[in-house]
A and B are shown apart, each in its own frame.
Chain A
């Protein structure tokens, strides 16, 4: 492995980690507030991606093929899918099953995921979709000796980082955000202090859903989507979230970077293992720290 390949691996890894982080961020946020491990997050990723691909094709067809428009189309797809699906899932489905065991709630989201898998096949069929136009529009950058697309080197990591900072700002500085944090710490106490749990839960779920869909929408210009992509993404983001520690936002950022880099390196060094690396990392992490890398100790409730 020479230096060029190492650089290329790092560039690949960072762009991949950006996508992974966006999806994981949504997942961990939803888990923190609602206590539900939302398997439908994989569907959000897939639907966000497919919608973005279709909208891009639509925009190109109607001669709206200016670069900023194409970019806005990606964001628009994420917001539309995230808000609609988020409301549907939270207000209709999860609220109805709110009182059930966490395992049952997990299965509820699994059932919804399975339903959306077929829905997606009905609407978009099983041929692969992609929307590479925007990547070639934005051109390439040269870093040392390696040429890489601006989209993957700047846009994806930039949006990931902006989402991270934006979320931190939201949680630390705004009233809604502070209520969200209170809710994650102690649901009953927060309710007693006057936090409107229902509203906050819906808001956070929709926010998380938009992040999941955004991951998909940003992925579709660089990788083709086909059936099964949601199933793959949901387990990958699970590994990030679980290795970081459930509900850990900064932890998810670091872990996503770690897993993204390790995976893209594995493509060059151990190609047989590239798909398995995230899981192997998670196994090692949990072997050493059973509750994830960044979890803080909790008091025992007997």
Chain B
């Protein structure tokens, strides 16, 4: 409950800072989208299956936004988000049927392979997708309101924060649900899970579709916030960044991916201001440090510390 209050509080802080520092709004939305996507990646990762292609769902949803907005310029932004997320999720449901049969490296690689095919096609089919330059997304009306840029960003920030909070709530509920526990069981021993009469494929599929849903939603919001979609959004290095964020923050609690995304964005911002050209190097070093000193991520380390403090107090 405490963490729930903390999350709502941080959401409010972010909203206030977005209103007082208008330049930070897009950055906040994009950071939240990263966190949301990393949270999606964390769901199949519960079962030990780490995907190196999940950015493709964000990419599919973002292009859905662009295509639908191009075909129906008058469509409301909210409806765009819903439809695009639906497309992304449907795609993950279809792809899930195929990839849940694979484990470990093969699971990661298959996701990567599919994402590469999508990125390549989007880059090559110039007439349809605008090639590597991508497609511009004109700012739509949002919830029936035709707004200027700043108001639009504020509305989108509120929406994203609400989505982030519900995603966090969902994640906490899901990991404690029967399916969530079964996913964790798949990691420790799949054969035993099957002996209990639980279909590992089905459990993983459910987790996969949920993860596809959150990543798609993040991608759709990203498209609206940035106003531009490019094939790069689905590249494997982008997927790697999502895994990176998940590990950085830790996946033991829904806050983890968001903390990871915040650190990720902060490092990126810091590097682009003071050490342009070596931001990737800085990120790599951060990741190595986190893996070395806090293998459960920032949040895991914090939880452990709190635990040991509590034990110290009681004894």
User: Which residues of A are at the interface with B, using a C-beta cutoff of 8 A?
Assistant: 37, 93, 96-97, 100, 102-104, 106-108, 110-115, 117-119, 121-122, 231, 235, 238-239, 242, 246, 272-273, 275-276, 279-280, 282-283, 286-287, 290-291, 300, 302
Using A107-B247, A111-B287 as known contacts, say yes or no to A283 and B113 having CB atoms under 8 A apart.
yes
Interface residue ranges, B against A (CB under 8 Å): 45, 48, 50, 98, 101-102, 104-106, 108-110, 112-114, 116-117, 120-121, 123-125, 189, 191-192, 236-237, 240, 243-244, 247, 277-281, 283-285, 287-288, 291-292, 295
Q: Which residues of B contact A93 (CB under 8 A)?
A: 288
Tell me the bound Cα distance from A110 to B109 in angstroms: 14
Query: Given A110-B244, A235-B236, does the pair A282, B113 have CB atoms closer than 8 Å?
Result: yes
Question: What is the minimal beta-carbon distance from A138 to any residue of chain B, in angstroms?
Answer: 33
B102: chain A residues at CB < 8 Å are 286, 290
Query: Is the CB–CB distance between A107 and B117 below 8 Å?
Result: no
- With A104-B291, A111-B284 as contacts: A238 and B278 at CB distance below 8 Å: no
B contact residues around A118 at 8 Å (CB): 277-281, 284
A residues less than 8 Å from B236 (CB atoms):
231, 235
CB atoms of A107 and B243 under 8 A apart: yes
- Contact B50 A111, beta carbon cutoff 8 Å: no
Among A96, A119, A279, A290, contact of B113 (Cβ-Cβ < 8 Å): A279
What's the nearest-Cβ distance from chain B to residue A44, in Å? 16
Chain A nearest CB from B145 CB (Å) reads 41
Measured between beta carbons, the chain A residues less than 8 angstroms from B116 are: 235, 276, 279
Report which residue of A103, A111, A286 has the largest number of chain B beta carbons within 10 angstroms of its beta carbon. A111
> Measured between alpha carbons, how far is A275 from B112 in the docked complex, in Å?
14
In the complex, the chain B residue whose C-beta lies closest to that of A300 is: B191
Interface SS of chain A? helix
Q: Nearest residue in B to A236 (C-beta to C-beta)? A: B116
**What's the nearest-Cβ distance from chain B to residue A227, in Å?**
11
Name the CB-closest residue of A to B109.
A242
Chain B residues near A272: list those with CB within 8 A.
121, 124-125
Nearest opposing residue in chain A for B279, CB measure: A118
Once the chains are docked, how many angstroms separate the CA of A122 from the CA of B191? 49
Q: Could you tell me the distance between the alpha carbons of A294 and B280 in the complex, rounded to whole angstroms?
A: 37
CB-defined contacts of A283 to chain B, threshold 8 Å: 110, 113-114, 117
Q: Is the CB of B112 within 8 A of A117?
A: no
Docked complex Cα distance between A290 and B125 (Å): 30
Name the one of B48, B104, B291 contacting A107, with C-beta atoms under 8 angstroms: B291
Check A114/B109 contact, CB under 8 A, given A107-B243, A300-B191. no
Known: A115-B280, A118-B278. A279 touches B240 (CB 8 A): no
From B104, B123, B240, B292, give the contact of A110 (CB < 8 A). B240
